[in-house]
Amino acid sequence: MTLRMGVIGTGMIGRDHTRRIQQVLTGAEIVALSDVNLEGARAVKADLAPNAEIFETGQALIASDKVDAVLVTSWGDTHEDYVLAAIAAGKPVFCEKPLATTARGAKGIVDAEVAHGKRLVQVGFMRRFDQGYNLLKQTLENELGTPLMVHAAHRNPTVPDAYVTPMAIHDTLIHEIDTFRWLLGDDYVSARVIFPRKTKHAHAGLADPQIVTLVTTRGVVINTEIFVNCRYGYDIQCQIVGEEGAAYLPEPMAVTMRKNARRENAILTDWKGRFVAAFDTEMQAFIDEAANGTISGPSSWDGYMAAVTSDACVKAQENEGAAIDITYPDRPALYN
C-alpha cells in the first residue's frame, strides 16, 4: 500500500520532507499540499510532487478522503489546530516541533488523542532516530551503570536578528529537552538558568551564551550550554557520566587531513547536514507505522512534556539562578 500524504506548510522543512518522501523514502506519496502562501505550495508541486492537489486550507486537506496521513510543517503557532483536526478525522499526523506553543495547547492534544483511544500523533523530535544518540543510549544502558550527570552543548554559528532570548529554549534547547528524557528514561523536576559573560556577537535582545541545568526525578543533573553565536560551526555535544564510566556522543563522520603542519577535520555548519539521516529514519518510521495503523515514535505526551519543561526554562531565564519546579499530571496509559 502507498500511504497518501498531505503537507500543510510548504516552507523550508515542508519542502525538505516532501523531497525526502518523493525521492528518498519508500511507501508514501505526497498527494496534497497546502500553505497560506499558495504560490509556495504550487512551487513545491512543480518541483517535487507533480501529482499533488493544492488545497486552499489545511483543514480542507485534512478532511479530504484522498489523504491518508497528514504532515504539519507550518509555523509553530498553527500546529495545534491542525493536529486536533487530524485527530478528529482519525488520521495519523506527523507534526514538526513544537506540538503546540503552550503547555495547555499540547495538553489539549493529549486529551483529544486519549479520548480517541489510539495513538495518531508523532512529533518531529528527530534526534531519537540519530544513529549516534542511539549508540550512546545503548552504551549508557549496557556499560555506564547508573547515570549521574550529563554535560551537553548546542552551538550554532549564528542566528537571525529575530532570534531573542526565550527562543534559546523554544527553538534550540527543545531538542535537548526531549532527547535527554528519552536517553535517560526519566522526567525533570526542576530547571535553572545562568547567563555567563555575553558574547559581543549577540544583539541587544539575546542573552548568549546560556547554561541551563535540568534535574531529573532520579537526581541526574544535566548541564546544557546554549551558544548560538559561536561562529565556528554547528556543534552538538553530549557526555553522559555514569557510576562505571563516561560516554560521548560520536562526532559526525569527517575525514582527518594532515597538511601544512596541521591536523584537521571539517565541522558542519548547519543542522540539516548534521541530522539528515535522522530526518530520513524518523519519516520512514512514521510512514511504515501510519500505513499499519500503529504510531510509536515521539508522542503527544512527549510534546506536552517538552512544552511544560520549556515553560519552566523560560521562567528560569526570567529568574536567573533560581530553581523552577517542573510539574505535570500522571502519564495516561496510552503513552506507557
Residues that bind ligand NAP (CB under 6 A): 8-14, 34-37, 40, 58, 73-76, 78, 96-97, 124, 126, 271
CB 6 within 8 A of CB 32: yes
Residue 193 phi/psi, 5° resolution?
A: -130, 135
Write down the least CB distance from residue 98 to ligand NAP, Å: 6
> 147: closest CA among 22, 236, 4, 243?
243
CB of 57 or CB of 319, closer to ligand NAP: 57
Sheet holding 188-194, edge to edge: 246-248, 235-242, 147-155, 221-227, 210-216, 188-194, 324-325
Judged by beta carbon, residue 97 or residue 119, the one nearer ligand NAP is 97
Shortest distance, position 293 Cβ to ligand NAP, whole Å: 24
In terms of CB distance, is 5 or 247 closer to ligand NAP?
A: 5
Question: Do residues 110 and 300 make contact, with C-beta atoms less than 8 angstroms apart?
Answer: yes
Beta strand 3-8 with 28-34 is parallel
Q: How far apart are CA 230 and CA 333, in angstroms?
A: 42
Tell the smallest beta-carbon distance from residue 174 to ligand NAP (Å).
Answer: 8
Least Cβ distance, residue 10 to ligand NAP (angstroms): 5
Measured distance CA(315)–CA(322) in Å, rounded: 9
**Residues whose CB is less than 8 angstroms from the CB of residue 284 and which lie 6 or more positions away in sequence, other chains included:** 25, 26, 27
Q: How far is the CB of 303 from ligand NAP (least distance, A)?
A: 12
Q: What are 137's three cell numbers? A: 543510549
Q: How far is the CB of 315 from ligand NAP (least distance, A)?
A: 21
Q: How far is the CB of 12 from ligand NAP (least distance, A)?
A: 4
Which CB, 75 or 248, lies closer to ligand NAP?
75
Q: Label residue 149 exposed, middle or buried (CB < 10 Å: 0-12, 13-18, 19+).
A: middle
Q: Looking at beta carbons only, is 156 or 210 nearer to ligand NAP?
A: 156
Q: Which is nearer to ligand NAP, 165 or 190 (CB)?
A: 165
Residue nearest to ligand NAP (CB): 11
3-state SS class at 69: strand
Closer by beta carbon to ligand NAP, 11 or else 195? 11
